Amino acid sequence: MGVSRNDSDETRLRVPQQTLPELCRDISASDFSPQTLCSIEHHQQPTSTPAPFERFPVDIFYEILRWLEPLDLLQCARVSKRCRAVTLSPDAKPYWAAALRNVPGLPERAPDISEPRYAFLVFERFCEVCGAEGQLEVSYSYGCRLCGKCWEARYPHGFQLMVGAFLSIDHAVFELLPIFGVVFDKFDDFEDAWSDIAAKRFISNLRYSKTEFETVAAKYLRLRSDKAALAGFVAERKALVLERYKREFDVLKWKQSSQRSGS
């Protein structure tokens, strides 16, 4: 549901009475993923009387968004359907971008992660699927924030993925996927940190995305008879995986230095 600032107020502010999945689809391109929106809905407090600021004209609302920090924007999107529609509308995108830019030292978001989603990963405190708080795993390689109950099934151990058509697949296929929950011991230099991790890799006790494994492994098997095509696919995937590890490393390094400086 795009919220255009050129439309009349009545059109701009109307949030159709859709089911949540329909709403998620409407704003999927540059906003939260459906899972995240579901958890936002889960956390939303039912209110019978709109808060005073909810009755502001939409231009005033945007003026307020201009001054908010990433966590404020996230919380604003959780207040009500109207707040969410305005806060996650394409018109609000520059305010998210500015809010993220204003966080000292925060690494640039990856192009495949929207501004609200990046803010959610870095600043929120609950699981994107069930809304649980507490012990959460945030993966910047995969772009998810999940509790143990939710990541167990989605990110199984390597050996649990080697079943059915993938029973005897070459272990090298695991190098084409990021490890879920990778732990960096040091943050001085990415190459050093990564070579330490790579040396300890053992697929049976590492976790990977089930859906991504199935896609990558199926293509790997399909290309086995064409050596050149397989080599190209492997090189492309390895470059992508390295880029995603670098993204993870950069954000974790920033988080560590932020905690040390107490900001």
For Zn ion (CB under 5 A), the number of binding residues is 6
Which of 77, 83, 129, 179 binds Zn ion (CB under 5 A)? It is: 129
What are the tokens at 39? 């958890």
Site string for Zn ion, 94-123 (x = CB under 5 A): ------------------------------
For residues 130 and 234, which CB has a smaller minimum distance to Zn ion in the complex? 130
- Residue 50 DSSP SS3: coil
- Partners of residue 133 on adjacent β-strands: 126
Binder among 3, 86, 127, 162 for Zn ion (CB under 5 A): 127
38 binds Zn ion (CB under 5 A): no
Q: Residue 77: which H helix or E strand, with range? A: helix 70-79
Distances (CA, A) of 161 to 9, 165, 168, 189, 210: 52, 10, 11, 32, 7
Least separation in angstroms between residue 126's CB and Zn ion is: 8
Distance CA 212, CA 220 (A): 12
Residues contacting 261, CB < 8 A, separation 6+: none
Shortest reach from residue 189's CB to Zn ion, in Å: 34
Query: From the CB of 133, what's the least distance to Zn ion, in Å?
Result: 10
Q: Looking at beta carbons only, is 44 or 258 nearer to Zn ion?
A: 44
Identified binder of Zn ion from the candidate list 13, 132, 197, 234, rule CB under 5 A:
132
Burial of 261 (0-12, 13-18, 19+ CB in 10 A): exposed
Rounded to a whole number of angstroms, the minimum distance from the CB of residue 142 to Zn ion is 15
Q: How far is the CB of 128 from Zn ion (least distance, A)?
A: 8
CA–CA gap between residue 18 and residue 221 (Å, rounded): 42
Q: Which stretch binds Zn ion (CB under 5 A): 32-40, 97-105, 144-152, 213-221?
A: 144-152
Q: How far is the CB of 63 from Zn ion (least distance, A)?
A: 36
Tell the residue number behind the tokens 């993220």, with chain if given: 100
Does the footprint of Zn ion cover residue 65 (CB under 5 A)? no
The rounded distance, in Å, linking the Cα atoms of 174 and 179 is: 8
Residues near Zn ion (CB under 5 A): 127, 129-130, 132, 147, 150
